[in-house]
């Protein structure tokens, strides 16, 4: 009731087992604990905590302005809200190799099931924007090695992301990912692939878990879960979908109030108080409180 029933270790083991099944796992973006709760109710396999969504929630652009403490704190809150495993975006590891090692420890302590780190130079840019600059393959491999060596739970999923496709091309993407895998990555995230052929080529090059990013308004076509499963990918994320849905609804609602002078005409677009309390498990808290309050020796 108050927290997730599964321990962090159980969630990590569950994620590893699910990855071993070969089926496609669907991880919607959850930028807040209440969003994570709805994702669990809906039946998703896990949660993805997007750096872009967390930055936007803080009214910041996604250029590496958030700190390790800010990101890990939000990750801890989200991970505690459900029994789903959560993978978090750790940007560039919040520094160099030693920072990447600390990042893994912090994410483990926060109850996350895994994280990914990318090979951009700070200030980083959204993976679907142009003019990104990458660190050298060797530098990123050193960072992945440090992060891998820092793991205490072998089931914590360390994922290496490369943004090379839009900068150096697909061949370089594959070569970079091979180096990161050799350095200790457990899974791979080729960002901003541009079509099915590229997905097929990357899949043919590796026999480890691969992640597909189905972000809206980007360079990647929005492939269906069935298409991604056929392509052999293991995890699909919808990183900013929940934030975009919520923000559009807020914009439309506020505009209606300004125009009409009341929210009466948009009540039907709102989550009801009853439904909110259901998501929050309000009655469970009430029952718990009543049971403690009424206890007598």
Which residues does the annotation mark as catalytic?
48, 62, 89, 91, 116, 118, 126, 161, 191, 213
Provide CB contacts within 8 A for 97, sequence distance 6+.
142, 143, 145, 146, 147
Q: Is 128 helix (H, G, I), strand (E, B) or coil?
A: coil
Give me 208's structure tokens: 């480890």
Which ranges constitute the DSSP H helices of the chain? 8-20, 33-42, 51-57, 68-79, 97-109, 137-150, 170-183, 196-205, 225-231, 241-260, 273-280, 282-293
C-alpha 249/C-alpha 242 separation (Å) is: 11
Inter-CA distances, 187 with 134, 160, 196, 234, Å: 20, 7, 20, 10
How far is Cα 3 from Cα 40, in angstroms, rounded to an integer?
Answer: 13
Count of other CB atoms within 10 angstroms of residue 199: 23
């Amino acid at each position: 009731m108050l927290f997730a029933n599964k321990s962090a270790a159980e969630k990590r083991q569950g994620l590893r087992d699910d990855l071993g099944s070969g089926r496609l796992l669907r991880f919607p973006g959850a930028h807040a604990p209440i969003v994570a709760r709805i994702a669990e109710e809906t039946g998703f396999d896990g949660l993805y905590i997007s750096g872009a969504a967390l930055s936007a929630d803080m009214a910041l652009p996604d250029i590496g302005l958030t700190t390790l403490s800010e990101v890990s704190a939000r990750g801890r809150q989200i991970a505690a809200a459900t029994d789903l495993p959560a993978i978090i975006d750790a940007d560039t590891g919040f520094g160099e190799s030693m920072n990447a090692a600390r990042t893994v420890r912090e994410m483990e302590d926060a109850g996350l099931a895994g994280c990914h780190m990318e090979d951009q130079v700070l200030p980083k840019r959204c993976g679907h924007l142009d003019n990104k600059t990458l660190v050298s393959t060797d530098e990123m491999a050193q960072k992945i090695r440090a992060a891998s060596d820092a793991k205490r739970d072998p089931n914590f999923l360390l994922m290496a992301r490369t943004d090379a496709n839009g900068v150096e091309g697909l061949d370089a993407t594959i070569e970079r990912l091979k180096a990161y895998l050799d350095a200790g990555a457990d899974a791979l995230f080729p960002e901003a692939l541009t079509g099915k052929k590229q997905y097929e080529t990357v899949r043919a090059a590796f026999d480890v878990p691969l992640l597909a990013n189905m972000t809206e308004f980007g360079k990647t076509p929005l492939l269906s879960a069935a298409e991604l499963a056929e392509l052999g990918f293991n995890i699909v994320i919808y990183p900013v979908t929940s934030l975009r849905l919520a923000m559009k609804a807020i914009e439309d609602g506020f505009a209606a109030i300004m125009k009409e002078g009341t929210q009466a005409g948009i009540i039907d677009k709102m989550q009801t108080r009853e439904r909110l309390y259901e998501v929050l498990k309000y009655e469970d808290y009430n029952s718990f409180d009543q049971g403690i309050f009424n206890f007598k020796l």
